[in-house]
Structures are given as C-alpha cells and as structure tokens.
Amino acid sequence: MHCDLLIKNGFILPQPRLGTMIANGFVAIRGTTIKALGPMAELGEVAAAKTIDAAGCLVMPGLVNGHVHGAMTLFRGLADDLPLMEWLEGHIFPAESRYVNEEMVYWSTKLAAAEMLLGGVTLLADSYFCMDGAARAYAEIGMRAVAAHGVIDFPAPGVADPSRNLDVVADYCQRWQGHSLLTPAVFAHSPYTCSAGTLQGARKLAQEQGVDLYIHLGESKFEAELIRADGLSPTAYLDSLGVLDDGVVAIHCVWLTGADMDILASRGCRVVSCPESNMKLASGVAPVAALHERGIAVGLGTDGCASNNNLDMFSEMGSVARLAKVDCLMPEILPASQVLQMATTIGATVLGQQGLGSLAPGAKADCIVIDLYQPHLTPFYNSDLLVYGAKARDVRDVVVDGQLVVQDRLLLSMDVAEVMDQVRGLAATVREGK
C-alpha cells in the first residue's frame, strides 16, 4: 500500500459514537482522504511519504467548534464580568465600530485559528463582519471553516449603509462558493438587532445562495422579555416570520420553552450550545438534554474570546456535561459519549458537513493525535476521560484534509510569533483609544 501519511502504533478511536478503540492501530492517508485504518497486525507492507509514531497516543477525529467569532481575539479580556447587553452595547459594539476592518479581522482570525488548531479543532463555524479577511485567514492556513458574514440593522464594519447589508453578504457568498475548505454562510445577528424584513431577507438570501443561516437565538433573559412584550417568544416570533427551517443553525438557545423546542424540532433546525460563554455572561443554562430528546442535532461551540475567554473545546465538553447534570440533578444525563459526539460527528452535521467527525476509509482525513502520557490522563480506561479530563494542550499533532498542520505541538502552516505580534500591535491601538 502506498500513502502520503501514515499514523501508526496508537490507540485509534474511529467512531466517537461507539467509543470502541483499536488498542494498537494505524491510519493511512492518501491525498485528502483516509485510505485505510485498523490494527497494526493488518498493516502489511506500506510505503509512506511521511510517518508519525503515535505510540502512547490516541488518534481520533478532529474537534468541531460550532460557533466562534474568531476576530474577537482582539477583544479578549477587554470587558469582563458584565451582563450581556451592558457588555454588548457599552463595550463590544463601540469597539467593533471603531477597530474592526478587514485587516484586523484577518490577523485576529489567524490568532483564533492558531489557538483552535493547537487545541485539536479541525472544523469551525465563524460568524462576524468583514469576513473576506477571515476567509482568507482560514484558507491560507488550511483550516476547514464555515464562515458566515454578519447582517445587522445598523452601520457595521464593512457595511456602513445598513440598507445594503444583504447585498454585501450576497457578494461575499458568491466570492467564496466552491472553495475546497471554506463554506460561506449568512449570519443574522439576532431577533433584536435585525428587523422582520431583514430576518426574512437574510433567510431568502441564504436559500438563494444555497448556504445556511446562522442566528443567535434565546441567548438572554433580556431578549426573551423584549420580544415577548409583543406576545411571542423569540423562537415563536422567528417562526411567525417563516424564517425557521432545516437550513437554520440557532446559536445558544438558553431561554426556550417546551413549545419553542417543539418548533425547532418540527422545523428541522439545528442548534449550537456555548456553555462557558453563557455561564460567564450569566445568561443561563441551555436545555441541551431536552433538545436531544426531541431529536434536534445539537453541536458545541466556544463563542468568541471576548465572552469566554478561550477557544478550548475540551473545556467546553466538560462544562456542557457537568452543567446538564447539575441543572437536571441527574448524574446520568448527557453522558460523556454523547458530549464527545457533539464535538465531532454531531457537530459536523450541525454545520452541514456530513461525513466529517469520524475516521473511516474514504472519509476526509481530519484527525488529531492526543498525547496520553500525562498525569491527568493516566490511567486511560476509555474515551469518557477525553470529556472529563483532557485539555487542549494534550493535542500533539493535527491533520486537516490530509495535510499535517500541527506536528509535535508546533504549527506548520503559519508563523505564530508574527501573528501574535500583529495582534499585540492592534491591541496597543485599542488600549490607547486611538
């Protein structure tokens, strides 16, 4: 057998859903796909252009960050310990209007990508403004991304005239259609920052472009009370506009009634939960287990660095599992195996990237190697420990689309020092208020 990359001698976790591991196995990659995998005893003769020895390590599918505002790395720690609306209106929206442009988005997104890749994320959904800068960043470093351009009803970075917001997003989507790693999408910020006409226009635009619509929904008590003043919950309001269907990804979904969850299920909507951001902003706990029970696909995301303040998906997995248990007072609810799927196979499905999130012959070669030779990962009985004990820094190697982009914890596809220097320079301008 001939292959471009051979990963050998490791524990292999092909299907997070099953949790079954190959104790001493290999993954052979040719081009962008997995050629073969199995026990080392079945490997036979192989000619590999490059070989990675994964002895003492676990090889598994790459993680999926279902919701991030990558460029907000620039605002990491800018305004902490505040309620959502005070944080947004008093700090984040003003900073964005002053400092966000395509170049800022490019460098700050590269910084986010560095953090995510080093933490084992191979697929993500990024929602922000000036998204050509983000798309360039992800494409250059070889990261798989859904990049959704923002729509909002007031002047925004790159869209000075709100009346042109949908035109700008349409042009953006057309520019990035057909890219091998980058999928464009539409991001309607929220039901309280977009008018009914804008929400309906965004949904129509996404349908015309053949892309998904992302929207913050039910994130805070403020949102629930503001829109309920008109007699409908935020979810029911969107449904009354004809916005909700199987092309919609709803983010957060903390403030939902049982009827709201039934609407999302009946419309085929997908959901992304961001537990640590919701905790930090005191927004509440999303009913993830109840959503799963209704057959809704629920992924997992970090949100942006300004409200988290990290992009560590291992931490998110532990948080969402523990929150569900304490919220329901049921230790058996949302088990680790289900949470691991949220960050892999289910997460990929939520982002419209079916087929990713598992390792199998013919599948896209997106995988990570986790160093198990760590005190906090010893002993390693099964994959549940990935949810309750693993950390982003345990990731040793990362492969995206067949390309080795992280080796021995070093990024190969970008100069991290240059990226950090660029963002530090941008931060100096923010700090000085220029």
Give the per-residue SS3 of 107-146.
HHHHHHHHHHHHCCEEEEEEEECCHHHHHHHHHHHCCEEE
Q: Which amino acid, one-letter code, is at 54?
A: A
User: Which residues lie across from 51 on neighbouring strands?
Assistant: 6
Q: Which residues contact 195 (CB under 8 A, 6 or more apart)?
A: 153
Tell me the two tokens of residue 335: 């088990």
C-alpha closest to that of 147 among 62, 69, 251: 69
The pair phi, psi for residue 119, each rounded to 5°, is -95, 10
In degrees and rounded to multiples of 5, residue 347 shows phi and psi of -60, -40
CA distance linking residue 252 with residue 256, whole number of Å: 10
Closest residue by Cα to residue 109 from 139, 66, 89: 139
3-class DSSP assignment, residue 411: strand
pTM score, whole prediction: 0.97
Give me the amino acid identity at 50. K
HSE value, Cβ hemisphere, 13 Å, CA-based, for 174: 8
Residue type, 267: R
CA separation for the pair 134, 106 (Å, rounded): 5
Q: How far apart are CA 127 and CA 181, in angstroms?
A: 16
* Token pair recorded at residue 73: 């790395």
Both tokens assigned to 143: 């990261």
Q: Which three-class secondary structure state does DSSP give residue 37?
A: strand
Q: For residues 275 and 289, what is the distance between their CA atoms, to the nearest angstrom?
A: 13
d(CA 281, CA 84): 6
CA count, 13 A, side-chain hemisphere, 27:
37
pLDDT computed for residue 434 by the predictor: 54
Measure the CA–CA gap between 246 and 375, rounded to whole angstroms: 44
Task: Give the Cα separation of 53 and 252 in Å (integer).
Answer: 39
Question: Is the CB of residue 302 less than 8 Å from the CB of residue 277?
Answer: yes
Helix axes 131-141, 165-176, angle to 10 degrees: 20
pLDDT in tens, the chain (434 residues): 899 999 999 999 999 988 899 999 999 999 999 999 999 999 989 999 999 999 999 999 999 999 999 999 999 999 899 888 898 889 898 999 899 999 999 999 999 999 999 999 999 999 999 999 999 999 999 999 999 999 999 998 888 899 999 999 999 999 999 999 999 999 999 999 999 999 999 999 999 999 999 999 999 999 989 888 678 999 999 999 999 999 999 999 999 999 999 999 999 999 999 999 999 999 999 999 999 999 999 999 999 999 999 999 999 999 999 999 999 999 999 999 999 999 999 999 999 999 899 999 999 999 999 999 999 999 999 999 999 999 999 999 999 999 999 999 999 999 999 999 999 999 999 988 75
Q: Which residue has the tokens 């073969």?
A: 36
The backbone torsions φ and ψ at residue 316, rounded to the nearest 5 degrees and listed phi first, read -65, -40
Burial class (CB within 10 angstroms; exposed 0-12, middle 13-18, buried 19+) of 395: buried
Give the Å distances, CA to CA, from 351 to 189, 246, 252.
17, 11, 15
CA 360 remoteness from chain centre: 22
**Cα dihedral across residues 415, 104, 223, 206: positive or negative:** negative
